[in-house]
Structure 1
Amino acid sequence: MTQTTLRIATYNIHKGVQGLGPARRLEIHNLGHAVEQLDADVVCLQEVRKVHRREAQYFAHWPELPQAEFLAPEGYEAVYRTNAVTRHGEHGNALLSRWPVLTHQHEDMSDHRFEQRGLLHVELLLEERPVHVLVVHLGLIRASRLRQLQQLVRFVVREIPAAAPLLVAGDFNEWGPSIARILGPAGLVAHTQGRHPTFPSRMPLVQLDHVFARGLKPVGVTVPHGRNWWRMSDHLPLIAEFVWPDSP
């Protein structure tokens, strides 16, 4: 029997723009090539623009498509849901999948009025087996993040069958043991042991980006480095690989 490796990437793309003020530059086209290079079965994205009217006027080559659709490699299906509505547009989480998408939904995870946050839930079909994926982007305030993690666990219990394989990926804005401590009772375990710093991308010191799994066996994790990667976003992508528990 051939062992199928499931390759999952999570990447905060910083809305496709780097820099501040007049020095800011459009990176969404480079990010499109980068997503292809990840060669992941599923790409979980955070800080994805659906529309931004001011930036579309400022940058001559702003894509006509929403960023999730623009970044999807050929043959991938894009799922996007809005977390935050702002003066000039909106942004949220997205998932790009080689696998067929069965269903998807969104849950508001905003903990206070200063940050709009959300959870994207997508059910995929791989080799006739359903796999659930949650894409998250948690808050900047630690107390909020802990409450959002508890909300995530309640969502899993309420919405996802107990025996179903589950992946939770995203920018957790957290690098301590609290994530594993809160997600552990829901059967979710880290992709692998050890530190894999992803932030800040130029000189990564902490791991804010994680993949947790239930019902799948982790076999490896990588974080690409180099100038091309740190120029595109303030985060580096993280790629985790899994196999089915019954794989030889």
Structure 2
Amino acid sequence: MKLRIATYNIHKGVSSFGSRPRVHALKQALNSMEADVFFLQEVQGRHDRYATRHAGNWPELSQHQFFAGDSHHCAYGMNAVYDHGHHGNALISCYPIASARNQDVSDHAYEARGILHCVVQSPAGELHCYVVHLGLFAGSRKRQTEALIAAVEGSSPPDAPVIIAGDFNDWTNQLSDTLRKRLGVTEVFDTNLPARGFGTYLRQLSGRGVKIKPARTFPAALPWLRLDRIYVRGMKVESAQVLHGPLWARLSDHAPIVATLVLE
């Protein structure tokens, strides 16, 4: 079975500059990806100020419900709560969502973070999907990664297909090796190794091999930092790409990653 998935930090449905509403354009962009499952971060569950300021251009539904429409299933994990609303992670799936649980992994009062775990009932069986948004500080990310590992180990069978996707804020790529070793996952760009050359030859001679790096996804107009990831277990990566450029820069500060997986 083939499965097309996407991960995307949607910046609460407003533009990076000027906070102009982008919710309707985002829905069109999501539809254009033709993904079976979307892993979304910074999804606005409610924002009274935007709803009032942009009346007529801001949906009455929560963003995850608006994006899902009548054709998809959705689950929402509320993380940050404030007087005029709240936002968090969301999973949108063309397949039924059997269960959903949101775990608070906030490391301090200034950054509300969570892990949304959903069990998706695909035609090939259950998929354990984890939507992740980690903190801005290295110490927080390390502790949140330990919480993620414990969550995956405690909520999914060891032989179950697993997808972990989201905004890891891990621009120095310190977490991937830990996740690979502890959970047996692969990042979707792990197989995109650089072409053989003199530098590769020297690394092989030294025994260091080729350094595996995730894709660049931030900022969306000209990605430089490696923030967003998709880790999988129990499936083969057929393809993966970052969607970036002027069009995507108008929608969010992050570029989305789209990947096609084959269930093993």
TM-score when normalising by structure 2: 0.87
- Match for 1:159 among 155, 164, 170? 155
Q: CA deviation at 1:216?
A: 0.9
- Match for 2:12 among 11, 15, 20? 15
How many residues of Structure 1 are paired with residues of Structure 2 in the alignment? 240
Match of 1:11, as an amino acid?
Y
Q: Which runs of 4+ in 1 moved over 3 A?
A: none
- Match for 2:239 among 220, 224, 231? 220
Partner Cα distance (2:235, 2:124) in 1: 15
Q: CA deviation at 1:18?
A: 1.3
Residues 36 and 73 of structure 1 are in contact (CA less than 8 Å); yes or no, is this contact kept in structure 2? no
Find the counterpart in structure 1 of residue 22 from structure 2.
27
Q: CA deviation at 1:181?
A: 1.6
Residues 192 and 219 of structure 1 are in contact (CA less than 8 Å); yes or no, is this contact kept in structure 2? no
Residues 35 and 73 of structure 1 are in contact (CA less than 8 Å); yes or no, is this contact kept in structure 2? no
Residues 72 and 96 of structure 1 are in contact (CA less than 8 Å); yes or no, is this contact kept in structure 2? yes
Residues 132 and 165 of structure 1 are in contact (CA less than 8 Å); yes or no, is this contact kept in structure 2? yes
Q: CA deviation at 1:177?
A: 3.3
- Match for 2:170 among 142, 167, 174? 174
Residues 16 and 253 of structure 2 are in contact (CA less than 8 Å); yes or no, is this contact kept in structure 1? no
The one-character-per-residue Cα deviations of 1:181-215 (angstroms, maximum 9, x if unpaired) are 22112111111224421100111102211100111
Q: Which runs of 5+ in 1 are unaligned?
A: none
* Residue 24 (structure 2) pairs with residue 5 (structure 1): no
Residues 223 and 244 of structure 2 are in contact (CA less than 8 Å); yes or no, is this contact kept in structure 1? no
Tell which structure's C-alpha radius of gyration is larger.
Answer: 2
The one-character-per-residue Cα deviations of 1:11-66 (angstroms, maximum 9, x if unpaired) are 0000001145xx33111110010000010010010000111111111112211000
Find the counterpart in structure 1 of residue 198 from structure 2.
none
Matches within 5 A, 1:132-147: 132-147=128-143
Find the counterpart in structure 1 of residue 252 from structure 2.
233
SS at match of 1:202: coil
* Residue 173 (structure 2) pairs with residue 188 (structure 1): no
Q: CA deviation at 1:175?
A: 2.8
SS at match of 1:241: strand
* Residue 39 (structure 2) pairs with residue 44 (structure 1): yes
- Match for 2:99 among 95, 100, 103? 103
Partner Cα distance (1:218, 1:176) in 2: 23
SS at match of 1:178: coil
Partner Cα distance (2:167, 2:130) in 1: 11
Partner Cα distance (2:32, 2:262) in 1: 21
Find the counterpart in structure 2 of residue 131 from structure 1.
127
Q: Which moved more, 1:194-203 or 1:26-35?
A: 194-203
TM-score when normalising by structure 1: 0.93
The Cα RMSD (Å) is 1.3
SS at match of 1:212: strand
Q: Which runs of 5+ in 2 are unaligned?
A: 193-213
Find the counterpart in structure 2 of residue 198 from structure 1.
217
